A = this chain, B = another copy of it.
Amino acid sequence: MKNLSVSQRSQLVAEKLKIKLENIANFSLDPNQIMGRNCENMIGVTQIPLGIAGPIAVKLPAREYYLPLATTEGALIASVNRGCKATRLSGGIRVKVELKGVTRAPVFKVNNLAEAEKLITWIKKNFNQLKQQVEATSRYLKLLDIEPFITGKNLFLRFSYDTAEAMGMNMATIATQQAVSLIELKLKVKCVSLSGNFCVDKKASWLNFIQGRGKCVWAEARLKKAVVKQVLKTTPEKIVEVVLRKDFVGSAMSGSLGFNGHFANIVAALFLATGQDMAHVVEGSLGITTAELETNGDLYFSVYLPSLMLGTVGGGTGLATQKEALAILGLGQGKKGEALELAVIVGAAVLAGELSLTAALAAGHLVKAHEKLGRGSK
């Protein structure tokens, strides 16, 4: 099926299975751009409803954004929207973002500890040479660090990169391959796997949670008591209690890697709309929610997301609908700092969505929200 056009392939499948693929065939993406880049054996597209929430008010610097959210889960966009309104009316969301770097960690088999130490010493000594070699693989990539970890005959080297506006996993992989080849050549050791699960890519892990990966984001807002009442239909006290009993005690009791309500929902909807890799929702939704009562009765609310892998160029970001979604955010034009700005937006959006869900739970309105919107299967 490799050499067929999209429509030929789609027809073939439809005929063979005696089904119709009319909607899948309805698309405006350019197959020539997609083939050999985003998707093989293409038969069309999956259409995901795209809605808008906001504007969301972000501070430092002050900006407002409409949020493009792709989802099939009723009530989600309405909920994020409500969170946008409540935070906007309270002065907006302050966000802090830190570049942690894209990581790739090959695993080498060494014969013993002495060999591992020799390798580590060599890397420290030849860091600049390695840096030069790996940075020659891409004009966007900078090597930040190489961190070694040993157990038995296994030596992991965690390479960390700045990949500019790209999410950069591919770039990092190619660069690391280059370094690995050099190390294998010079030190006669064997790399068993270019990824040694110490990266950690697309799995929930404490390593990423504690040390961060990609972009690390903190967002906070101070909600006026009256706004909590009018917009969120509950009280700061009740929200604080839900965060304590659900996000902390419940997560502690269940061995959760993630002390939050539903980061994954908002991260998934924004990632899908803007062309990110959907498997990165796994680590992107790691994080912690906190809520506190201010002395004047207002609500302090925060979210922390240590492992956001995202970009504004490369991957799915260049596809026509995704590019338009990025344009809604004022992004996708290749300016420096766009990836960090997208991380800021994700952090703020997650805060809005998390706040709204927590408030719905606090008010006892979860079922009502879902019964009004998004209900289905009774």
Contacts and interface: CB of A to CB of B under 8 A. Distances in A.
Given A48-B46, A246-B196, A252 B253 contact: no
Contacts of A73: 38, 277, 279, 315-316
A1 B311 CA distance: 29
Among A195, A206, A251, A254, max chain B CB count under 10 A is at A254
A136 to B, nearest CB: 11
7 contacts: A41-B51, A47-B319, A152-B292, A170-B376, A206-B255, A252-B259, A269-B278
A321 B46 contact: yes
A320 B152 contact: no
A364 B107 CA distance: 12
Contacts of A324: 19-24
B241 A192 contact: yes
Interface residues of A, number: 166
A39 interface: yes
Contacts of A71: 38-39, 278
Contacts of A168: 377
A229 to B, nearest CB: 19
A335 B281 CA distance: 31
B202 A210 contact: no
A264 interface: yes
B218 A257 contact: no
Contacts of A269: 278
Contact of A300 (B152, B174, B255, B370): B152
A105 B265 contact: no
A76 B222 CA distance: 41
A51 to B, nearest CB: 4
A9 to B, nearest CB: 7
Given A43-B51, A168-B377, A117 B139 contact: no
